[in-house]
Amino acid sequence: AAGVIQSPRHLIKEKRETATLKCYPIPRHDTVYWYQQGPGQDPQFLISFYEKMQSDKGSIPDRFSAQQFSDYHSELNMSSLELGDSALYFCASSLGRGTRQPQHFGDGTRLSIL
């Protein structure tokens, strides 16, 4: 079965640079979620989109923005990167929001800030 695809798998950036992470949801899934997992931490919800509109917002810094496109893929844009942004970034998708359908996670993008 098709899964959530995230690219790139690994990304190395320097402080103050920008980064763009991409997420391709499972086919027919209309809801995308972004999470940030720091070293040894639990995943923290950043933002979600339903039918190309922002659905919910968590602890996403103002330096980050995201959007969902007409083909339902999503991009997380990160600017003025800081050392503390080094983390594993997960994208998840589901069919519908707030429903019994679970969120299926991609393998994550590991972002390292030098």
Partner 1 sequence: AQTVTQSQPEMSVQEAETVTLSCTYDTSESDYYLFWYKQPPSRQMILVIRQEAYKQQNATENRFSVNFQKAAKSFSLKISDSQLGDAAMYFCAYRTSYSGGGADGLTFGKGTHLIIQP
Tell me which residues touch partner 1 (CB under 8 A): 31, 33, 35, 41-48, 50, 55-56, 58, 88, 90, 92, 97-100, 102-105, 107-108, 110
CA angle 51, 58, 32 (to 5 degrees): 30
Compare residues 9 and 16 and give the one whose CB is closer to partner 1.
Answer: 9
Q: With H, G, I as helix, E, B as strand and everything else as coil, classify residue 83.
A: helix
Distance CA 91, CA 31 (A): 10
Smallest distance from the beta carbon of 37 to partner 1, in angstroms?
8
Smallest distance from the beta carbon of 39 to partner 1, in angstroms?
11
